A = this chain, B = another copy of it.
Amino acid sequence: MAASDLDALVAISPENVTYATGAVIWTQRSLRDRLAMVVWPREGEPTFLVAGQEAGYAGEQSWIKDIRSYVAHGDSPIRALASALREKGLEAGRIGIEMGYLSAAYHQELAKSLPELQLTPCESIFQKARLVKTAAEVELLSKAAVATERALLATYATIQPGDRERVLVGRLAENMLATGADAPSFLYMTVGPNTGYAHPSPTDYVAQPGDLVKTDCGAFFSGYQSDIARTAVIGKASPEQRSIYERLVQVHAKTIEAMKPGVAAREVFRVAVEEYKRVNIPFSLAFAGHGLGLITHEDLLLSDSESAPLAPNMVFAVETRVRWPGKAGYHIEDLVVIGDRGPKKITTFMDTEELMEL
């Protein structure tokens, strides 16, 4: 904000409210109109606005002292925001707000309520602040990564032919909490032909010997996220399964190897594309990985359109995968922190060098 000409920043997304306050307000995610917001003026103290139901908890969790509440389904949260801005003398101020999160309807309500307010998108300010992680953030993301691997390995270790896919997904959710997560974020554990889909609902498919088990999963830890993917086979892998997996391992290793500080994100993507071609695995997605932190996909995206360079203390999810819808799919996803001299994997609990046989 110091480098901008803004009079105040308003955070409204779950990620930036947590970033600004230290608190996690779960209903932001599940009840769309139950906004939580932070008004952060250039001068003076920030104000944290939540629904009445969350006020006591927000007070316990946040370092912000000025917590105000509106009556959910009584007041409009935008009216509460307008009051807070007016009280801070900002009714004609230049305000940075998350236009990618604020709904068009709320935007119109706010503009009508404070017609002299100048609203401008502020996502880039938050994204820039969140891009390079602090040591504490790297530590939290590393612990979260390993906890999620432990939950997944604990689940894989119990899989038997005859297990229902849906029950396995539940077991993974249970193990996530047992290893320290606050909640599952996503649980795409698929078996057999379902591995051909990226993000399907779980089914009652019964696991058979020879089936692939592919998991792309993540959980929440104090508002931060994990995101890993692993592929295994029930029983003995076929030569074809082994061949596809081994070729993906090569792509994956080369992609990670390229992740040196100073290298442009798009260079890493290009290395991945080249490697898929070299090992003859089809690849048509627009990214080979993404930043990770308070949201699952944060800057930088490892894509052809991202020219920014990697820098120390950025954290990435590197994703190597192939899918044939309704037939088969393979996915390896590791988390990597960029060090001064090169990449370091923070997913260290499960070995992904060989296709795991269950």
Name which residue of chain B comes closest to A183, CB basis. Answer: B187
- Nearest CB in chain B: distance from A122 CB, A: 11
Q: Mark A114-126, 1 if CB is under 8 A from B, else 0.
A: 0000000100000
Would you call B73 and A31 a contact (CB within 8 A)? no
A140 on the interface (CB 8 Å rule)?
A: no
Q: Mark A46-77, 1 if CB is under 8 A from B, else 0.
A: 00000011101100100000000001111000
Separation of A52 and B325 alpha carbons in the complex (Å) = 11
Knowing A31-B296, A285-B52, A325-B56, the reply to whether A101 touches B100 (Cβ < 8 A) is no
Name which residue of chain B comes closest to A56, CB basis. Answer: B325
- Residues of A within 8 Å of B, CB-based: how many? 70
- Nearest CB in chain B: distance from A145 CB, A: 17
Separation of A74 and B301 alpha carbons in the complex (Å) = 11
Knowing A72-B286, A301-B73, the reply to whether A170 touches B166 (Cβ < 8 A) is no
Question: In chain A, residues 262-291, which have Cβ atoms closer than 8 Å to a Cβ of chain B?
Answer: 284-287
A173 on the interface (CB 8 Å rule)?
A: yes
Question: In chain A, residues 304-331, which have Cβ atoms closer than 8 Å to a Cβ of chain B?
Answer: 305, 323, 325-326
A135 on the interface (CB 8 Å rule)?
A: no
The stretch that binds B, out of A85-93, A103-111, A237-245, A345-353, is A103-111
A4 on the interface (CB 8 Å rule)?
A: no
Would you call A27 and B184 a contact (CB within 8 A)? no
Name which residue of chain B comes closest to A111, CB basis. Answer: B104
Question: Which A residues fall within an 8 A CB radius of B?
Answer: 13, 24-27, 30-33, 52-54, 56-57, 60, 71-74, 99-108, 121, 166-167, 169-171, 173-178, 180, 182-188, 196-202, 222, 284-287, 295-297, 301, 303, 305, 323, 325-326
